[in-house]
Structure 1
Amino acid sequence: MRTVGHLLSRPVAIGTALVLVMLIAGFVGWRLTGGGEYVAPTPSAAPTVRADTVAGRDSLEELVAGVRDGAKPEGKGAAAVATRNADAIGIEGLSARYVAESGNVDEDGSWTADVDMSWRAPGDPTLSEELKVGFDGDGEITGFSADEGTRMPLWLSGPVEVRRTGSTLVVVQASAEQADRYAELAASAVKQVRTVIGWDRPRLVLEVPASGLDSALGAQPSTYSSVAAVTATVDGSSTAGSPLHVWVNQDVIGDLDSPGAQVVITHEAVHAATAAPTNPHRPMWLVEGYADYVALRDTTLPLSKTAGQILAQVREDGPPKHLPGKAEFNTRSEHFGAEYEAAWLACVVLAEAGGQEALVDLYEQTGRGVPLERALRASFGFGVDELTARWRTHLSDSAR
């Protein structure tokens, strides 16, 4: 009793006493009921959702078989769309190897996996990419995508319209009417190029994504946001002889009228005909200027339309002191567009000085590795300094 009375007589110790009493009571109760060693209860775990990888692999095998057999399945599912696209384009040799899950499985059982895929389009080498493939809870394919830096094949990214002739193949993510328009642009481009260049076995492939070019080319976001079209190897290499395709940016070319769009496609067709992206010898101004020379050869548009940007710069700052170099053709350049116009006018100066055949000869010689100075003197009788002087004078006179 003293102890209790002592505790109660000191308010500060009341809480401690109560806790002590409760602990003793608990101990006594445990002893009286004969309990053994105390074990905390195990919390119940939420059920684990697992990916049905067997069904996913089966779906990939069905896709491969469908493409191999030329199937044309009904429906709007990603696998059905891809199979129909493959048949329309002529995709062959498809393989799809399931690698591993990518990320967590959702509560509904859907998931994404990394899949090594290989395929071959007519006239192209076998291409391989590790792509992301989405699956639903039943293992059915829901879509295809690619990590940044990986090229996303157009035939796997949604429905396409396909148009082909003996010399062109056009694959478009757009309406049938728009596909017809791009097919006409491609056919006209081949004809225009062949009036200037000896393109004996023309093959022009246009790929037109629904929006932008960055995903299709495996580029950083916004790299090609201002570019109307790009000619590049199908495998992203710079190896000579690699097949070339032209990727068209609908977000840019869609704002152009028919003559403007034709200039863009013909310009890129020149690059394809001369394997420009894989030739390291020619100066950039000649590569781009020559392509515009062919594309604008029969135009009746005024200089205010075809060279308005560079002439505005000349009026403000005077003519450039040198022909545009590789750095000036950066897609993020402040004056992107003016450089192309300046390069085109350099080729116009050359054609006026020595004729079109001399310009074509210069382009071919430099492509074979002949130094620019020597090739200029062989075709025109003057070198780079004289060309630069004539070009600057032409710019100044045109800007008046």
Structure 2
Amino acid sequence: MRTVGSLLSRIQAHPALIGAALVLVMLLAGFVGWRLTGGGEYVAPTPTTAPVVRADTAGARASLDQLVTGVRDGAKPDGDDASSVAVRNAHAIGLEDVTARYLAEAGNVEQDGSWTADVEMSWRTPGDPALTEELRVGFDAEGAITGFSAPQGTRMPLWLSGPVQVRRSGSSLVIAQASAEVADRYAELAATAVTQVRKVIAWDDPRLVLEVPATGLDAALGAPQGTYTAVAAVTATVDGSTKAGAPLHVWVNPGVIGDLDAPGAQVVITHEATHAATDAATNTRRPMWLIEGFADYVALRDTKLPLSKTAGQILAQVRENGAPDHLPGKAEFNTRSEHFGAEYEAAWLACEVLAEAGGEQALVDLYDETGRGIPLEKSLQASFGFGVDELTARWRTHLSDSAR
């Protein structure tokens, strides 16, 4: 008869026996419990494991192929599923060269068989080069598409975000997650903006694209939450780059512009149209005050509103603190600035000072020359006969006089 001590010695001498010993102890414990409770025939429990659920990648690839084929062949599905909505949106916008390439699962497969995958998608809006983004696509157990999303930092295209209203004209394209009535309003704003811009600058082949996401600008532009909460609209390249010549679209924040009256909304869209017409998002040669001030000059050119409406914020600051000692720069044009808005008014008044001093064409020439890389001081002297210091002095005087 072996003693407990001898058993322990054997186990310690042979580590492989440890696992077997643990199993034996567990079985004995179960047996003792059964005896104490007076159970019937004892049956050792059978270990159970959850079944492995695998993604139906073949079904997912087939669904992506079906989406691409639907866009290419002109089919118009009637369903309300994410894939059908995307196909209808693509037709309405006129997207071309749509592709979708399955990459890999983005996380675990759920017990119901659903999962999310990284998918490389490409498409081309009329007039734009092809755009490629790595997006997230949801699939159900059979591989059918359940939705689209974008990783943080990636722009979420409207045509994959839900139903859109599309309005086209010879010079504008509006893509809006909105009602038909609201889409019509944006189409009118866009058409008027093109007309107003062409009164001031040469825009021989105008093309203005407005994108209006229902949930604001942050997700649409791949920005951290809160970046564009107070911004009415933004003009940016379609691919998020700063490459010269990259196509520009205007993204509109309905939560801000929707609170504006008709003249105010028109000023916003015409301002952004000026940026689009002059490649302002990719041309960084001009000083920031001239970029923003000139856009407001074009937008406010035909308005009859008083300065209390068009420059109320900056004039209030001048009354309280006096005129600024320098023209606004990049630091002042911050979407999170406490005085966001006043900087634009200040920049506009600087352009008003220039237009009054030398005429509108001289201002347009200054804008064009600085965009070509001619230094601001040199261009000012050539067109107006004075430099930055004199402009700043005249601007400060204008602010002080207007604030009285």
Indicate the residue corresponding to 1:193 in structure 2.
Answer: 197
Distance 1:327 1:119 in 2: 36
- Stretches of structure 1 that go unaligned for 5 or more consecutive residues are 1-22, 28-39
Distance 2:61 2:298 in 1: 50
Whether 2:205 is the aligned partner of 1:224: answer no
Whether 2:153 is the aligned partner of 1:130: answer no
Indicate the residue corresponding to 1:56 in structure 2.
Answer: 60
Name the aligned partner's letter for residue 79 of structure 1: S
1:94 CA drift (Å):
1.2
Q: Which runs of 4+ in 1 moved over 3 A?
A: none
The alignment covers a number of residue pairs equal to 366
Indicate the residue corresponding to 1:298 in structure 2.
Answer: 302
Distance 1:61 1:276 in 2: 38
SS of the aligned residue for 1:242 comes to: coil
Indicate the residue corresponding to 2:391 in structure 1.
Answer: 387
1:41 CA drift (Å):
6.2
Which of 44, 68, 72 is matched with 1:68 structurally? 72
SS of the aligned residue for 2:234 comes to: strand
Name the aligned partner's letter for residue 365 of structure 1: E
Whether 2:188 is the aligned partner of 1:184: answer yes
Distance 2:369 2:107 in 1: 54
Name the aligned partner's letter for residue 358 of structure 1: A
Name the aligned partner's letter for residue 325 of structure 1: G
1:42 CA drift (Å):
5.3
Calculate the TM-score normalised by the size of structure 2. Answer: 0.88
Name the aligned partner's letter for residue 269 of structure 1: A
Indicate the residue corresponding to 2:40 in structure 1.
Answer: none
Indicate the residue corresponding to 1:308 in structure 2.
Answer: 312
Distance 1:219 1:169 in 2: 24
Indicate the residue corresponding to 1:113 in structure 2.
Answer: 117
Whether 2:87 is the aligned partner of 1:83: answer yes
Name the aligned partner's letter for residue 252 of structure 1: V
Which of 265, 269, 275 is matched with 2:273 structurally? 269
- Stretches of structure 2 that go unaligned for 5 or more consecutive residues are 1-26, 32-43
Larger radius of gyration: 1
Which of 124, 139, 145 is matched with 1:141 structurally? 145
Name the aligned partner's letter for residue 190 of structure 1: V
List aligned pairs for 1:12-23, cutoff 5 A: none
List aligned pairs for 1:281-292, cutoff 5 A: 281-292=285-296
Distance 1:279 1:305 in 2: 30
Indicate the residue corresponding to 1:208 in structure 2.
Answer: 212
Distance 1:194 1:337 in 2: 25
1:302-330: CA deviation from partner (whole Å, max 9, x where unpaired): 11111011000000000000000111001
Indicate the residue corresponding to 1:254 in structure 2.
Answer: 258
Distance 2:68 2:138 in 1: 16
1:222-277: CA deviation from partner (whole Å, max 9, x where unpaired): 11111100001111111111111000000110110110000000000000011111
Indicate the residue corresponding to 2:358 in structure 1.
Answer: 354
Distance 2:71 2:400 in 1: 59
1:280 CA drift (Å):
1.5
SS of the aligned residue for 1:84 comes to: helix
Indicate the residue corresponding to 1:30 in structure 2.
Answer: none
Distance 1:302 1:231 in 2: 27
Calculate the TM-score normalised by the size of structure 1. Answer: 0.89
Aligned identity (percent) is: 78
Whether 2:156 is the aligned partner of 1:152: answer yes
SS of the aligned residue for 2:219 comes to: helix
Whether 2:232 is the aligned partner of 1:233: answer no
Distance 1:285 1:112 in 2: 45
1:48 CA drift (Å):
2.1
1:120 CA drift (Å):
1.1
Distance 1:319 1:217 in 2: 35
Indicate the residue corresponding to 1:162 in structure 2.
Answer: 166
Range with bigger deviation, 157-166 or 130-139: 130-139
